[in-house]
Structure 1
Amino acid sequence: MLEVAVIVLRWLQYSGAAVLLGAPLFLLYSFRGADGPNLAWARPTLIVAAIVVALGSVAALVAQTAVMAGSLSEAIKPASLSFMITGTALGMAMVARAAIALLILAASIVLRRGRKLWSLAVAGGLVVAASFAWTGHGAATEGPEGLIHLVAAIIHAVAAAVWLGALAVLTLLLLRRTAPDDLTIHRALQGFAGMGTVAVVLLVLTGLVNSWFMVGPARIGDLGSSLYGQLLIAKLALFGLMLALAAEHRFRSTPALGIFLVAGEDPRPALARLRRSVIAETAVGIVLLGLVAVMGTLAPPSAM
């Protein structure tokens, strides 16, 4: 049960971190940080994401301590928690993650929505997203190559958060009852195309580096023989599906919407197709984060 709790809390933290980084960066990139039309939902979204990360980090600290101590009753003892926080990199990262999330929460409550808030959230979100790599498999490689692996893992985590956080914004824009005007939607989609392309390139390149260290060329043939390898195969399949969906609404749906708008025709059919595609991509991304949360608790083939 404790192991399941650790996985669920990892998934919640990953999801919250993606919103904390990707959503405000998308607003800065697509709307140039302005208080654009129908963005009243943006600040409450940051507040919810910050609460999820803060509470998820604290709960994960207790759950991880319970796994190490053997029971929940032992985990809540001050001595056990103190050792976890001061004696392990994982504990320190969770505390730092919670503290940064609380700072973003305070800024989201005090500041008005706009460039200043989005910029502060992006800075904090960068640290939160990167912190998962500091205590994950990317930090386990020893020797001179360790720094290469760690940097690749950090970039991978940040790129994933940027992509998924931007998807969250697009989903909210397309699902709201009081939707922004069609030109705003088109502008947001064009912004996502630029961010998404950069994120995908970084994900592919750093994914290859991470796989080199955690799997290795010699073990590729036996990848399906371990649970980690099976989940990695599933992750790559889901990533490929997300790429296909992203390509569909970048090269077909978004240009089609632009044509409708220029011609002065009813854009609702194009928007409906976009909505289905973006929602599907977001749903796949949520499942993919779940796989990553499980993989983070398993030893990679290189450690066996």
Structure 2
Amino acid sequence: MDETTQLMLRGVCRGLHLAGYFTAFGTMFLSALLLNGVTVRGHKTLVWAGCGLAILAGAGWFLFQTAYFASTNNLSAIIAALPIVAQDTRFGGLLLGRLAVLLLAALLFQANRPRAAALLGFGGVVAEAWLGHGGAMAGWEGTVLLGSAIMHLAAAGIWLGTLPGLCLAIAVVAEPGPLARRYSPLGGLCIAMLLLTACIQYALLIARPGAFLTSAYGAVALGKILLFGGLILLAARNRLYLTPTLPETRPALLRAIGAEMALGLLVLLAAGILLQLEPPAMAGIT
């Protein structure tokens, strides 16, 4: 397996891991905050599905990351290195710890304790920040990047993570209008936070606009920006045109949320790949 293929596989596994983690946490958050602790039919299954995806993709990420650390494609050597990575690296400890937290949160949700589950899941979501560039850098830049990554993950987990649960709830509740109207300000706040933190991260990691066209990191980042722009347009359409006229527009809103979920998955896959690449500011690319 060549280096580029291994990098892509690590990135895809990381993106899918985030998608599963966000889905499980977001469903808990939606139930705890916007549904006042009520669990809609199908939400418990959705949490387990997200948890399963996070575990399976996390296992793949762990395996490919171990191969990267050990600089080998030999399966026996990779398996031998797994305990070392689990015990002696920040990556291994954080990934396994976050998965344990997610499992505990899922069990709490099944026991009809959505608020405790959401709080625990939130901790697992933001802990991902220590596996990014901010967690590895020293000095004021590392501190700023870590803080922005925490806010970025929180906003992404709440917005993208709640979309599957929101879609399910709007499909089954008798009166979807009040839920959709309560959700809109929260989605807007998350979008604003994502835009702000993305600007901070790109200013520190990409540094110059020309790097969007002269580096692999910049090209993937540009693709992620375009996908995010599509997400914002869909969210704006939902809020301005579809939500005010519910329940008549329920089918159209469900289709639009489905499109948001698809774009959101692509954004997370792009983010997973992006985090495997060296930022232009670190590589000296202009």
Partner residue in 1 for 2:273: 294
Partner residue in 1 for 2:77: 74
**Superposition map of 1:83-162 within 5 A:** 83-109=84-110, 111-112=111-112, 116=113, 118-162=114-158
State the 1:134 CA deviation: 0.5
The residue type paired with residue 25 of structure 1 is F
The count of aligned residue pairs is 277
State the 1:276 CA deviation: 2.3
The residue type paired with residue 85 of structure 2 is M
Partner residue in 1 for 2:243: 254
Query: Alignment partner of 1:33: what SS?
Result: coil
1:58·1:98 contact (CA, 8 Å) conserved in 2?
Answer: no
Query: Alignment partner of 2:38: what SS?
Result: coil
2:16·2:268 contact (CA, 8 Å) conserved in 1?
Answer: no
2:197 equivalent among 206, 219, 243? 206
Partner residue in 2 for 1:221: 210
* TM-score, with structure 1 as normaliser: 0.85
State the 1:163 CA deviation: 0.4
State the 1:17 CA deviation: 1.6
State the 1:106 CA deviation: 3.0
1:155·1:206 contact (CA, 8 Å) conserved in 2?
Answer: yes
Q: Structure 1 residue 271 and structure 2 residue 262: aligned?
A: no
The residue type paired with residue 10 of structure 1 is R
> Residue deviations 1:61-98, cap 9 Å, x none?
22211222212221111xx2232123221111111122
Mapped to 1, the partners of 2:211 and 2:63 lie a distance apart of 36
C-alpha distance 236-224 of structure 1, shift in aligned 2 (>3 A): same
Mapped to 2, the partners of 1:238 and 1:100 lie a distance apart of 30
Partner residue in 1 for 2:224: 235
Mapped to 2, the partners of 1:5 and 1:230 lie a distance apart of 18
> Residue deviations 1:128-148, cap 9 Å, x none?
211221011222332133212
Mapped to 2, the partners of 1:232 and 1:100 lie a distance apart of 30
1:13 equivalent among 17, 33, 48? 17
Partner residue in 2 for 1:264: none
State the 1:40 CA deviation: 1.9
Q: Which runs of 5+ in 2 are unaligned?
A: none
The residue type paired with residue 269 of structure 2 is G
1:54·1:101 contact (CA, 8 Å) conserved in 2?
Answer: no
The residue type paired with residue 213 of structure 1 is L
C-alpha distance 145-5 of structure 1, shift in aligned 2 (>3 A): closer
* TM-score, with structure 2 as normaliser: 0.90
> Residue deviations 1:100-132, cap 9 Å, x none?
1221233344x13xxx2x112212221221122
2:151·2:193 contact (CA, 8 Å) conserved in 1?
Answer: yes
The residue type paired with residue 144 of structure 1 is W
Mapped to 2, the partners of 1:276 and 1:34 lie a distance apart of 24
Partner residue in 1 for 2:173: 180
1:215·1:302 contact (CA, 8 Å) conserved in 2?
Answer: yes
Bigger CA radius of gyration:
1
Partner residue in 2 for 1:263: none
The residue type paired with residue 275 of structure 1 is L
1:138·1:210 contact (CA, 8 Å) conserved in 2?
Answer: no
Q: Which runs of 5+ in 1 are unaligned?
A: 258-266
Partner residue in 1 for 2:263: 284
Query: Alignment partner of 1:298: what SS?
Result: coil
Partner residue in 1 for 2:48: 47
Query: Alignment partner of 1:47: what SS?
Result: helix
Mapped to 2, the partners of 1:283 and 1:104 lie a distance apart of 25
Mapped to 1, the partners of 2:240 and 2:29 lie a distance apart of 23
